[in-house]
Amino acid sequence: MSHPDKPLLAGVMGCPIKHSLSPILHNYWFKEECLQGSYVPLLVEPDKLKSALRSLVKLGFSGCNLTIPLKELAIEIVDDCCEHSKKIGAINCVSVQPNGFLYGSNYDWSGFVNGIKYAFPDFQLKDKLVTVLGAGGSSRAVCYGLLSEGVSEILLINRTTSKAESLKQDLGEAIKVVKWEDRHSYLSDTSLFVNTTNQGMAGETSLDISLDMLPVEALVYDIIYNPLESELLRVARNRGNMTLNGINMLIHQAIPAWEQWFNITPTSSEKLINIMEESVNSE
């Protein structure tokens, strides 16, 4: 935690980084909390991550967030990390300890779950069947969060079956791996469909999935937020499904980061969500 007589400083490391909404989010909270401080984007290539993280101490940072493609690399660099991070195999938050040690945490999993609870407070995850697309670092966090909420089963779909099988081996038998070519035919009992891939993101190809068999009562959650409504969410909304983009997840993973860095618990609000959405639309 930073000393109160000094400006507070944190940031986000990634490559690329200019797309990140994190600076808008965190600097909004600095203003709301009437704190002197700043949150900055830091372009860090993977081979420079170790030196960048070690520089946090000398530069007076309270900590930083990590985004693609640094989350899994950082877990091998920090001095210690939480049990959630070890299970997931990635960290998205680094805190500088008073002795200069770097402590890693993963709040993506709780940000994902709490994003749902904030947007749809009556939606229950316990005992539900969930379909998750993708088996990367974000998928690991999502699946970990879903299992912590007691879902009955996760159908995991990924182009590379071996990567999905590895995730299942690490996180448990409640995960069932579905082959990519069978992805359209396993949605009939799904209560929540989650896209954790970058397909549909601005500049990327659209997600190749048919929602024809998905129940209209299901929630469709695309963890990307640029565009605010991906093609997946547009199709889902038009057929009557509830939809959610990644802004809520981003906000709710950031709240415990502030608790770690500054011993302050900021809050989400419709005003904050609107500001972040306007920023995406203005790009």
78-96: pLDDT as tens digits: 999 999 999 999 999 999 9
d(CA 251, CA 268) in angstroms, rounded, equals 7
Count of alpha carbons within 13 angstroms of residue 238, beta-carbon side = 9
Among 14-18, 22-26, 235-239, the minimum mean pLDDT is found in: 14-18
Identical fold between 8-106+248-281 and 109-245? yes
Q: Where are the alpha helices (DSSP H) in the chain?
A: 22-32, 49-59, 71-74, 83-88, 108-119, 137-148, 161-171, 231-238, 247-262, 270-281
Query: What was the pLDDT predicted at 2?
Result: 43
Instruction: Give yes or no for a contact between 64 and 22, defined as CB atoms under 8 angstroms apart.
Output: no
Of the chain, the end-to-end C-alpha distance in Å amounts to 34
What confidence tens digit (pLDDT) does each residue in 44-66 have?
999 999 999 999 999 999 999 99
Confidence class of residue 3 from pLDDT cuts 50, 70 and 90? very low
What CATH architecture is 8-106+248-281? 3-Layer(aba) Sandwich (3.40)
The predicted model scores a pTM of 0.93
Query: What was the pLDDT predicted at 137?
Result: 86
d(CA 80, CA 88) in angstroms, rounded, equals 14
Instruction: Give yes or no for a contact between 133 and 158, defined as CB atoms under 8 angstroms apart.
Output: yes
User: What distance separates the 2 farthest-apart alpha carbons in the chain?
Assistant: 59
Considering 6, 18, 58, 71, which one is annotated as catalytic?
A: 71
What confidence tens digit (pLDDT) does each residue in 162-212 have?
999 999 999 999 999 999 999 998 999 999 999 999 888 887 888 999 999
Exposed e or buried b for every residue in 162-186, given b needs 16+ CB within 10 A?
ebbebbbeebeeebebbeeeebeeb
Instruction: Give yes or no for a contact between 215 and 208, defined as CB atoms under 8 angstroms apart.
Output: no
Query: What was the pLDDT predicted at 132?
Result: 98
- Provide φ and ψ at 2, rounded to 5°: -75, 155
C-alpha 141 chain-centroid distance: 7
d(CA 81, CA 98) in angstroms, rounded, equals 15
Query: What was the pLDDT predicted at 200?
Result: 83
Burial class of residue 240, CB neighbours in 10 A (0-12, 13-18, 19+) = exposed
Please state the domain extents for the chain. 8-106+248-281, 109-245
What confidence tens digit (pLDDT) does each residue in 111-152 have?
999 999 999 999 999 999 999 999 988 999 999 999 999 999
β-sheet with 219-222: strand ranges across = 175-178, 153-157, 129-133, 192-195, 219-222, 242-244
Query: What was the pLDDT predicted at 5?
Result: 64
User: Residue 205 is which amino acid?
Assistant: T
Query: What was the pLDDT predicted at 1?
Result: 44
71 is catalytic: yes
Mean pLDDT (the chain, rounded): 94
Q: Nearest CA to 52 among 12, 104, 6?
A: 12
Q: DSSP states of 172-195 as a string?
A: -TTEEEE-GGGGGGS-TT-SEEEE
If one looks up domain 109-245 in CATH, what number appears? 3.40.50.720
Confidence class of residue 281 from pLDDT cuts 50, 70 and 90? confident
Q: Is 12 helix (H, G, I), strand (E, B) or coil?
A: strand
Query: What was the pLDDT predicted at 228?
Result: 94
